[in-house]
Amino acid sequence: AQTVTQSQPEMSVQEAETVTLSCTYDTSESDYYLFWYKQPPSRQMILVIRQEAYKQQNATENRFSVNFQKAAKSFSLKISDSQLGDAAMYFCAYRSNSGGSNYKLTFGKGTLLTVNP
């Protein structure tokens, strides 16, 4: 079974600074997706960024980028120019792409990000 570990329960960053959230995962599969989701106080999970395991290039979405190290099974999220609206719980998630009944997300326990003005 796949597992996702987020070793930082809480992180804080100053507005306009850069912060990196860590995520490691364990799997024996070679075809999968990794995600970062954001959950603000409104509770709604919002997809931040997605990475396909077969793509060597790290995904980027505006101020959000990832460092995907497949051999090390590491998937960190970098937030540049942090804004007050980035404050939220961030979840790392894994999804198999092997088909069948495996289309479910496995989440880490989350990292609570605080942005200080």
Q: Residues interacting with other proteins, by CB under 8 A?
A: 33, 37, 42-47, 50, 91, 93, 95, 97, 99, 101-110
Q: Closer to other proteins at the Cβ: 82 or 106? A: 106
Residues 6+ apart with CB under 8 A from 33: 50, 51, 52, 53, 94, 95, 97
Least distance to other proteins from the beta carbon of 16, Å?
29
Whose tokens are 């996702």? That residue is 4
Least distance to other proteins from the beta carbon of 67, Å?
20
Least distance to other proteins from the beta carbon of 13, Å?
22
SS (H, E, C) 6-51: CCCCEEEEECCCCEEECCEEECCCCCEEEEEEEECCCCCCEEEEEE
Q: Closer to other proteins at the Cβ: 13 or 92? A: 92
Q: Closer to other proteins at the Cβ: 19 or 110? A: 110
Q: Closer to other proteins at the Cβ: 19 or 90? A: 90
Whose tokens are 């289309």? That residue is 103
Angle (CA) 75 78 83, round 5° = 145
Least distance to other proteins from the beta carbon of 108, Å?
6
